[in-house]
Amino acid sequence: MTQPVDFETFLFECIGKGLDHFGSSFKYVVYHELENTDHIEGKEIIRKPLTFSDALDRMFGAGSVSIKKAIVRELATDFGLTMSQEDLVSMINKIREKDGSWKK
């Protein structure tokens, strides 16, 4: 029997799945850089989405657009939301506002 997953863990896993589109170790490189440069560890991404987004811009320049779109697409799918034109920060904040109304 699987253990229930708390909201922050599920949201963090969804972000990781979006990063996985760029390779199996890609998310670990991103997380390592965030931890060492921006002093953000793991689930703090959820509470600091603007810092996370800015860090992706700094790390990958114009390539960050594709990375953010992949994460937003994954979040929209896993949370049953319409993607519309949501940017990464708005999407994470929108999901956080709905904390408690999601189902895995």
Residue 47's pLDDT is 92
What is the spatial distance between Cα 80 and Cα 61, in angstroms, rounded to a whole number? Answer: 29
Token pair 């863990």: residue? 9
For 63, residues 6+ apart whose C-beta sits below 8 A from its C-beta are none
Residue 1 has pLDDT above 50, yes or no: no
Q: Which amino acid is at 76?
A: A
Residue 62's pLDDT is 96
5-14 pLDDT tens trace: 788 899 999 9
Mean pLDDT of the 94-101 span: 76
In the chain, the domains with their CATH numbers are 7-97 (1.10.1200.200)
30-60 pLDDT tens trace: 999 999 999 999 899 999 999 999 999 999 9
Query: What are the structure tokens assigned to 65, written together?
Result: 């657009």
